[in-house]
Amino acid sequence: MLINGQCGDSIAVLDRGLQYGDGLFETIAFIHGNAPLWDRHMARLSEGCRRLALHQQDAVRLAHEARQLLHRDDASTDRQVIKIIITRGEHGSAYFPREGDATRILYTRDWPQRVQQGIALHLCRTRLATGSPLAGLKTLNRLEQVVAAAEIKNAGFQEGLLCDADGFMVEALMSNLFWLKQGVLYTPLLDRCGVSGVMRAEVIEQAEHFGMRVQEVRETPEMLDTAEAMFLTNALGLTAVGEFSGKLMDVDAVPLKIRNAIQQLLS
């Protein structure tokens, strides 16, 4: 683990990352030492720093430090995950932020166990607060997700669909949602809450490249009753949904071109 370029594994209690969740993070897939979505991660991080008035990060330095951490000479090193956390450090007084260098943390995480294609998706009762000034950003304020995760676990599922307080679909706990209907690819709007995923952006670009129509919509889960296919995306891949709300979904109806494109990207 590197903290501001030095080996370490702890931060000050007074760091605003702990005090207020005053910071951002990125979870980045490295395949054979390269991060195919690196530029998208850096763009989101930069947008987050801009919106939170955090010091902009030097992407070259981040890449250099990530490479220092990647395991070498190991058969299991084809796929690795690096997590980057950026906090405002101790710069501020109570909620009021002050100019100053951010705290920069990088470390490797295990690549999660492969989620089977055909995952069963729980519809969460836990709702996301809506109309957030943080909408779209991957901030350190993730307690709603923790509450939803407890619900998902108790219900015996691995992933769950989250709606906002008004009942509109937003995203899954650890991924973004897409569904297919009559040749159109749909995904929820993320202008009022939710995290704007890097793989979501990649899938939208790929789909449009293949000539598909993609629509960002504000819809309730009822719209999924007539969906022909559903899939989830995050920085580590694409997963077809096999069951939702007691209904079996056709895993093979997920557009093959998109699946292949993402698989190729991560291989």
Is 4 an interacting residue with respect to a copy of itself (CB under 8 A)? no
The answer to whether 35 touches 29, Cβ cutoff 8 Å, is yes
Nearest distance in Å: CB 184, a copy of itself: 29
Stretch of 2-10, 207-215, 221-229, 257-265 lying at the interface with a copy of itself (CB under 8 A): 2-10
- Asked if 7 touches a copy of itself (CB under 8 A), the answer is no
Residue 159 is a binding residue for a copy of itself (CB under 8 A): no
Terminal CA-to-CA distance of the chain, rounded, Å? Answer: 25
DSSP string of 49-114, one letter each residue = HHHHTPPPP-HHHHHHHHHHHS--S-GGGGEEEEEEEEE-TT-EETTEE---PPEEEEEEEPPPPP
Residue number, 77 or 139, with CB nearest to a copy of itself: 139
Contact 218, 168 (CB under 8 A): yes
Among 81, 115, 134, 189, contact with a copy of itself (rule: CB under 8 A): 134
Q: Which residue is it, tokens 């000034």?
A: 133
Our finding on whether 21 is near a copy of itself (CB under 8 A) is yes
Q: Please, which residue, 15 or 207, has the CB nearer to a copy of itself? A: 15
- For the annotated catalytic residues, the residue numbers are 27, 138, 171
Query: What distance in Å separates the CA atoms of residue 197 and residue 40, rounded to the nearest whole number?
Result: 9
CB 82 within 8 A of CB 30: yes
Run of H or E including 241: strand 237-244
Instruction: At 139, give phi and psi (nearest 5°).
Output: -95, 175
The binding track of 89-128 with respect to a copy of itself, each residue x by CB under 8 A or -, is ---x-xxxx-------x-x----x-------------xxx
Site string for a copy of itself, 207-246 (x = CB under 8 A): ----------------------------------------
* Crossing angle for the helix pair 38-52 and 198-209, to the nearest 10 degrees: 130
Name which of 117 and 141 has its Cβ closer to a copy of itself: 141
Q: Per-residue x/- marks for a copy of itself, 168-197, CB under 8 A?
A: -----xx-----------------xx----
> How many Cβ atoms sit within 10 Å of the Cβ of residue 227?
20
Q: Retrieve residue 224's tokens.
A: 């999924």
Looking at 1, 184, 217, 248, which residue binds a copy of itself (CB under 8 A)?
1
Positions that interact with a copy of itself (CB under 8 A): 1, 3, 8-22, 25, 52-53, 85, 87-88, 92, 94-97, 105, 107, 112, 126-134, 139-150, 152-153, 164-166, 173-174, 192-193
